[in-house]
Structure 1
Amino acid sequence: MVIKVFLASSSGSTAIKKKQQDVVGFLEALKIDYTQLDIASNEDNRMWMRENVPGEKKPTNGIPLPPQIFNEEMYCGDYETFFDAKEDNTVYEFLGLTPPPGSKEAQQAENAQKLHNGSGTEEHLDDETTKKEIAEAEQNGDAHTAELEEDDPGEKAETDAQEENTEGEEPAEEDEESRKVAEEEEQEEGEEDREEEEPGSEED
């Protein structure tokens, strides 16, 4: 694709000359390939430019003034739209070209894409994850614990089984201790009874 810049080499207008120099100088600074087409010395260039500038872009008298910029047959714009694109760092988009890696325009496009992707992800999380966390928090009182339990159901089942076993073992230990204490008390009482009975038998 070739960028075509229609110029008037012999224009008597200082303003037009300045605009033409501004466009050409900026294209050269960006190292964008372009072709200058003089409408002052070439009638075919002048006719082609006038015919291919869209009607809504032509001035009231119907004669568009240079510089006019095209990408092959596609109309890009005049100096005013070029200047706006330059101010917004969107010259490559204005010219219908892909911005080179590392250029401001490429970085802007990359950042815009990241923002677009990021906002889409956030919306998705808002719709699904947040609702899920709120529901779990209401049911279990602790959304974080619920998430961990969901991650590993087997671990949850194992933990539950251990808790049940522990609960079942504690009462058994208590019963055994109680039984031992009771037996010891009975033995002590039996010994005391025997000690009391022995002196009595000696008196008889």
Structure 2
Amino acid sequence: MVIRVFTASSSGSVAIKKRQQDVVRFLEANRIEFEEVDITMSEEQRQWMYKNIPRDRLPSQGNPLPPQIFSDDQYCGDYDGFFESKESNTVFSFLGLKPSTASKKSEP
């Protein structure tokens, strides 16, 4: 299972850049493997992202803004959904992952 975070490296919006950094830093800090996909570098990836966001999750106006988060081909959500899951301590569920048990050692 691969977590993919769709970002835009050439965004002029400070808010979007901060949101992208927040998601990436959280994943790195929690040692969650992920792939960052820069939609400004690949029209094909940008189109894939747009096409795979469920219709009921699309903004009422304009295109969906990065970051957009997927687990394999399954849409997880945008920054707002990520932020809410972070605040309620349900990020693993949001990402479709089982909580990490790496910190717990099993004794024989």
TM-score (norm 1): 0.49
Richer in helix (by share):
1
Percent of aligned pairs with the same amino acid: 58
Richer in strand (by share):
2
Matched position secondary structure for 2:85: helix
Matched position secondary structure for 2:6: strand
Gaps of 5+ in 1: 104-204
How far apart in 2 are the matches of 1:79 and 1:56? 16
How far apart in 2 are the matches of 1:38 and 1:101? 30
How far apart in 2 are the matches of 1:99 and 1:92? 6
Which aligned segments of 4 or more residues in structure 1 are displaced greater than 2 angstroms? none
How far apart in 2 are the matches of 1:33 and 1:79? 18
Question: What amino acid is the match of 1:36?
Answer: E
Question: What corresponds to 1:77 in structure 2?
Answer: 77
Higher relative contact order (CA 8 A, sep 6+): 2
* Higher Rg of the two aligned structures: 1
How far apart in 1 are the matches of 2:3 and 2:36? 9
Task: Render the CA deviation track for 1:122-179: whole Å, top value 9, x for unaligned.
Answer: xxxxxxxxxxxxxxxxxxxxxxxxxxxxxxxxxxxxxxxxxxxxxxxxxxxxxxxxxx
Question: What corresponds to 1:66 in structure 2?
Answer: 66
TM-score (norm 2): 0.91
Aligned residue pairs, count: 103
Question: What corresponds to 1:13 in structure 2?
Answer: 13
Gaps of 5+ in 2: 104-108
Question: What corresponds to 1:37 in structure 2?
Answer: 37
